[in-house]
Amino acid sequence: MSQENRDRAVELSREDEGYVITARWYSDGGSHEISGPDEVVIHLADDAAPEIRQWGVTSAVLHRMGRQVDDMVAEAHEMPSVGAHQVMVRRYVEGRLAELAKARGTTADGFESDLLAVFEDLTGRGHADPLGVLAMATSRPRTDLDHLLDVARQRNDHDGRRSSGAVVT
């Protein structure tokens, strides 16, 4: 969030098929970490169709609204990839991490190396904030991911493999 947004509440809203979802951040405490909202409110839109009013806010609606919250988090934190592209990138990262985990086996060590492979893939594709995308996709703070990437780089150096040497900022 910009300094201006840190000093006041931030509120973003979206309409989605008869519902209005509002996310509010009251303060991020000056942190540079990506954070979800302090509050999310979902309510029926004034012009909601009768069949939507009949069922209200269901678990299916909550699941669908998760995508809206992801978009609002990206917008609130002024991430360069907002909207459908950002969701597409996050889903790519989640899928790629799952593929790598399946390939190495669930009991094998290697999550850090998987993260590094995806980080280097995103960097190679010219993504503006690969660490931010990993943070969003894994729900981990940037500082934790930075540490895990360093661990993977050290392991790769010890194993005789060389990483691309991408710098995490």
In tens, the pLDDT along 28-84 reads: 555 556 778 999 999 999 999 999 899 999 988 888 888 788 778 877 776 654 456
Partners of 15 in the β-ladder:
20
Give Cα separations from 1 to 25, 33, 105, 146, 154 (angstroms). Answer: 10, 9, 38, 20, 32
- Helix, strand and coil content of the chain, in percent to the nearest 5, comes to 55, 10, 35
Q: Is the pLDDT of residue 108 over 70?
A: no
